[in-house]
């Protein structure tokens, strides 16, 4: 039975992905609810049926009280069949209907609706650009991905479990009391009016208060995750107290917003108790007065009393359900700030896969300033021949990394074009572009998975032998075999920790190199590829790097100039422009910026001060 209800909706069913999700709450929820339309309709009907049954039972109890006025033999003779039918209904049919109602809510809607939202929201967020992620906390994004789906599921649950049920119950209660004596429905109607005003007062305050509390909780999560992600810096600078103060500020704000939210519920509970007292005195007292006047039967008094006590017990639950409903909607609204943002960097409607030929790269008056009007790149034009090896050097902020990010289309250039084999990269699909480019970054972070998973990220269909061969080329195989994690997994099965923190910087870099070797893309980007390696390992791996470059178009960024001295051409960038270019020897002979960089380079070659001393010694001799 459970499998039947659990599989009524497939949360992973195909759907048309939207670059512009609805920005308003109800259209946003309705977009996700499309696969559940029929289930929601049946759930609403079942909620009404259950409410009608509850009202019917109260009427039936009043009827039983009335028929007991006769002798037992006469009662059984006249009503025995009806009493048996009522018993059968209670023992057989009512449990079945209740089971369908509960199974739809607990087994169909709650698990699948939240799963569907989380899966699609994660898919949407993954499509955002690198720049989008750089503008927010990873912890806050993840928190919203995690808290929005259960909040939306809880809101839907309350619609059918409480709101639909309570509305049907209220209508049924008025009808039931009206049938007994129309005057009994008057205090109930008055109470419903006052109850509605209390609901309105509560809801108007709970929504904003809940959203403020949710925002504050997300801020706490963001600050805590920020500290944990940078724990090495926290420890290195001995800023435990500073981080505690930073977190305390957000935690106290969260406490204040939660206190404000809870004050609303306290006021609601006190007023609700007063209203329920009015309900009991009004309806039961009125029923007793009518009975004393001979205008109502004992059964009517019993039914009115049972109904009133039932409503008294339900009102708190209904109020909490309603406030929970709007509180969860506040959480959904807050989550929408992240998961409903439009996709800014997307494939064009006519985008086609990149058809790579020789690997020629052309930059045509390329400019990008990150929307600031300065920094980045400024009208760069450049042609890189197929198979040419280009080195990029320059001061920090000269635009080297910006050029690489634009080539990978992590951002769309503000002006100008990038062409690969004559194809504008803004007109090809992003995935096809990035499949043709291998990238080794200075920040060699790894996925919190096994060594094997990280290596195969470069080429998932690679064989075990190919993976190991790539690791050996990157001088990584030997240390990988010695790895063991906390759960006893060894070698290629060992987990590396979040961002690879369980490995040294050099080990992470070598695994990153191995991953790119395994990918074997025709265009290779190296951003300080050996920056984390010690001199001995770097010397051992230099031949591997040059082997990787064979037959590929290469752009290599390096501050350690010896790593690019043998490349075909070196570009010197300054203030977003290419100010020098040529071979290593040509640039040294020119005596410009590159020659200055080279003269100041430490290790292997003389620094400027040492060179002067040497020249003075030679002159003296």
Residue 532 burial (CB count, 10 A): 19
Region 308-322 average pLDDT: 75
Residue 392 burial (CB count, 10 A): 24
Residues recorded for the chain: 621
* Whether pLDDT at 85 is above 80: yes
pLDDT score at 534: 65
Ordered DSSP codes for 368-395: E-TTTTSSSEEEEEEEE-TT-EEEEEES
Tokens read off for 277: 């007292």
| pTM reported for the whole predicted model | 0.75
* Whether pLDDT at 231 is above 70: yes
Taking only the tens place, the pLDDT of each residue in 441-497 is 877 778 888 999 999 999 999 999 999 999 998 889 999 999 888 888 999 999 887
| Structure-token match 């639950």, residue found | 317
Tokens read off for 187: 């205090």
Ordered DSSP codes for 76-130: HHHHHHHHHHHHHIIIIIHHHHHHHHHHIIIIIIHHHHHHHHHHHHHHHHHTS-H
CA distance 462 to 465: 8
Strands 553-557 and 389-394: parallel
Region 25-48 average pLDDT: 91
Residues 260-289, buried b or exposed e (16+ Cβ, 10 A)? ebeebbeebeebbeebbeebbebbbebbee
CA distance 11 to 417: 41
Confidence of residue 535 (pLDDT cuts 50, 70, 90): low
Confidence of residue 265 (pLDDT cuts 50, 70, 90): confident
Taking only the tens place, the pLDDT of each residue in 134-193 is 887 777 788 888 888 988 888 888 888 877 877 787 787 787 777 766 777 788 788 888
Residue 323 burial (CB count, 10 A): 23
Phi, psi of 395 (to 5 degrees): -65, 165
Residue 364 contacts residue 446 (beta carbons within 8 Å): no
| Structure-token match 């990269």, residue found | 425
Which residues make beta-bridge pairs with 364? 417
pLDDT score at 138: 78
User: Highest-confidence range of 276-285, 305-314, 431-440, by mean pLDDT?
Assistant: 431-440
CA distance 363 to 380: 7
Residue 603 contacts residue 584 (beta carbons within 8 Å): no
pLDDT score at 620: 37
Name the residue with higher pLDDT: 362 or 284.
362
For residue 344, give Cα distances in angstroms to 7, 131, 411.
35, 10, 9
CA distance 183 to 587: 102
Q: What is the mean pLDDT of the chain?
A: 84
Confidence of residue 501 (pLDDT cuts 50, 70, 90): low
Cβ neighbours of residue 187 closer than 8 Å, sequence gap 6 or more: 278, 279, 282, 283, 286
Residue 49 contacts residue 97 (beta carbons within 8 Å): yes
* Whether pLDDT at 381 is above 60: yes
In this structure, of 110-119, 273-282, 495-504, the range with the lowest mean pLDDT score is 495-504
Tokens read off for 125: 């967020």
Tokens read off for 169: 């119950």
Residue 408 contacts residue 442 (beta carbons within 8 Å): no
Hey, what long-range contacts does 245-254 have (CB within 8 A, 24 or more apart)? Answer: 247/220, 247/223, 250/216, 250/219, 250/220, 250/222, 250/223, 251/220, 253/216, 253/219, 254/213, 254/216, 254/217, 254/219, 254/220
**Structural domains in the chain?**
20-339 (1.20.1560.10), 357-436+555-621 (3.40.50.300), 438-520 (3.40.50.300)
pLDDT score at 409: 92
Angle at 417 between CA 392 and CA 353, to 5 degrees: 100
- Helical residues (DSSP H) of 474-534, grouped into ranges: 477-481, 505-519
* Whether pLDDT at 420 is above 80: yes
pLDDT score at 536: 63
pLDDT score at 491: 92
CA distance 522 to 464: 22
Residues 406-423, buried b or exposed e (16+ Cβ, 10 A)? bbbbbbebeebebbbeeb
SS3 category, 295: coil
Residue 502 contacts residue 485 (beta carbons within 8 Å): yes
Angle at 533 between CA 375 and CA 564, to 5 degrees: 55
In this structure, of 326-335, 356-365, 568-577, the range with the lowest mean pLDDT score is 326-335
Taking only the tens place, the pLDDT of each residue in 205-217 is 877 887 788 788 8
Residue closest to 333 by CA, chosen among 160, 159, 213: 213
Phi, psi of 420 (to 5 degrees): -120, 115
* Whether pLDDT at 615 is above 60: no
């Amino acid at each position: 039975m459970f499998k039947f209800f659990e599989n009524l909706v497939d949360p992973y069913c195909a759907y048309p992905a939207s670059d512009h999700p609805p920005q308003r709450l109800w259209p946003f929820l309705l977009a996700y609810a499309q696969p559940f339309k029929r289930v929601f309709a049946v759930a609403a009907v079942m909620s009404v049926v259950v409410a009608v049954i509850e009202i019917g039972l109260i009427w039936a109890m009043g009827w039983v009280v009335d028929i007991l006025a006769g002798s037992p033999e006469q009662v059984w003779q006249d009503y025995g069949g009806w009493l048996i039918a009522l018993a059968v209904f209670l023992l057989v049919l009512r449990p079945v209907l209740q089971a369908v109602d509960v199974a739809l809510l607990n087994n169909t809607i709650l698990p699948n609706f939240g799963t569907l939202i989380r899966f699609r929201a994660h898919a949407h967020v993954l499509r955002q650009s690198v720049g989008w992620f750089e503008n927010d906390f990873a912890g806050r994004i993840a928190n919203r991905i995690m808290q929005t789906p259960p909040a939306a599921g809880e809101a839907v649950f309350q619609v059918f479990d409480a709101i639909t049920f309570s509305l049907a119950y209220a209508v049924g209660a008025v009808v039931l009391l009206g049938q007994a004596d129309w005057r009994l429905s008057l205090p109930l109607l008055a109470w419903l009016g006052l109850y509605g005003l209390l609901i309105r007062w509560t809801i108007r305050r709970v929504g904003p208060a809940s959203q403020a509390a949710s925002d504050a909780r997300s801020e706490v999560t963001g600050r805590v995750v920020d500290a944990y992600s940078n724990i090495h810096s926290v420890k290195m600078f001995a800023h435990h107290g500073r981080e505690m103060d930073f977190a305390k500020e957000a935690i106290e704000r969260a406490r204040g917003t939660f206190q404000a939210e809870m004050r609303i519920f306290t006021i609601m509970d006190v007023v609700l108790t007063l209203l329920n007292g009015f309900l009991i005195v009004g309806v039961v007292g009125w029923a007793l007065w009518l009975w004393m006047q001979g205008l109502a039967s004992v059964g009517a008094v019993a039914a009115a009393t049972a109904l009133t006590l039932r409503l008294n017990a339900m009102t708190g639950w209904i109020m909490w359900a309603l406030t929970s409903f709007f509180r969860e909607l506040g959480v959904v609204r807050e989550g929408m700030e992240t998961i409903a943002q439009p996709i800014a960097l997307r494939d064009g409607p006519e985008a086609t896969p990149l058809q790579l030929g020789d690997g020629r790269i052309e930059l045509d008056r390329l400019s990008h300033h990150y929307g600031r009007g300065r920094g980045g790149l400024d009208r760069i034009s450049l042609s890189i021949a197929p198979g040419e090896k280009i080195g990029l050097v320059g001061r920090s902020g000269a635009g080297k990394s910006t050029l690489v990010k634009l080539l990978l289309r992590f951002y769309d250039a503000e002006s100008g074009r990038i062409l690969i084999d004559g194809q504008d990269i803004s007109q090809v699909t992003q995935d096809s572009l990035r499949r043709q480019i291998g990238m080794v970054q200075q920040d060699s972070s790894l996925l919190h998975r096994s060594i094997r998973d990280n290596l195969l990220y470069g080429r998932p269909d690679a064989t075990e032998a190919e993976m190991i061969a790539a690791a050996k080329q990157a001088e990584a195989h030997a240390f990988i075999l010695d790895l063991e994690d906390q759960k006893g997994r060894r070698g290629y099965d060992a987990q590396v920790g979040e961002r690879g923190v369980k490995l040294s910087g050099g080990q992470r870099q070598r695994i990153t190199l191995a991953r790119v070797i395994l990918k074997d893309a025709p265009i290779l980007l190296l951003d300080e590829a050996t920056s984390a390696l010690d001199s001995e390992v770097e010397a051992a791996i230099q031949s591997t790097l040059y082997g990787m470059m064979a037959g590929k178009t290469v752009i290599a960024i390096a501050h350690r100039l010896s790593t690019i001295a043998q490349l075909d051409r070196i570009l010197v960038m300054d203030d977003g422009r290419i100010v020098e270019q040529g071979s290593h020897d040509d640039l040294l002979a020119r005596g410009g910026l590159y020659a200055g960089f080279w003269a100041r380079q430490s290790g292997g070659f003389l620094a400027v001060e040492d060179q002067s001393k040497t020249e003075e010694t030679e002159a003296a001799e």
